[in-house]
Amino acid sequence: GENVEQHPSTLSVQEGDSAVIKCTYSDSASNYFPWYKQELGKGPQLIIDIRSNVGEKKDQRIAVTLNKTAKHFSLHITETQPEDSAVYFCAASPLRAGNMLTFGGGTRLMVKP
């Protein structure tokens, strides 16, 4: 089955700096890659997702890039703010699995004011 590795496990940045989180996946058939943000005591909240027919997607300060050849995808957050502090999860699923997701282990992002 699919296996998703996520790095780093913790990331500390200064407010206003950029943050990058990287994920690799094992199943070359994977074609759906969402990113979720989870705040303490809450369920994961979708922040952006990408499908394999595009290489990059952007939504304001957040962007995701996908390299299908290398089987990795990344989340980029620019101009970080203290409210961006949370745990971020990447996930992947192959076409045959629809939206039954395999998640990475998570990255705890801390934005220092």
Distance of alpha carbon 15 from alpha carbon 42, whole angstroms: 23
Beta pairing, strands 30-38 & 45-51: antiparallel
Toward another protein, which CB reaches closer, 71 or 78?
71
For residue 68, give the DSSP letter. Answer: T
Task: Find the shortest distance in angstroms from Cβ 103 to another protein.
Answer: 3
What residues line the site for another protein (CB under 8 A)?
A: 1, 4, 6, 32, 34, 36, 41-46, 49, 89, 91, 97-106
Residue closer to another protein, measured from CB, 17 or 96:
96
The least CB distance from residue 15 to another protein, in Å, is 25
CA dihedral 7, 11, 14, 17 (to 10 degrees): 10
What's the start-to-end Cα distance of the chain, in Å?
Answer: 41
CB of 62 to another protein, least distance (A): 15
Q: Shortest distance, CB of residue 78 to another protein, whole angstroms? A: 23
Tokens in use for 92?
């992947």
The residue among 22 and 78 lying less far from another protein, judged by its C-beta, is: 22
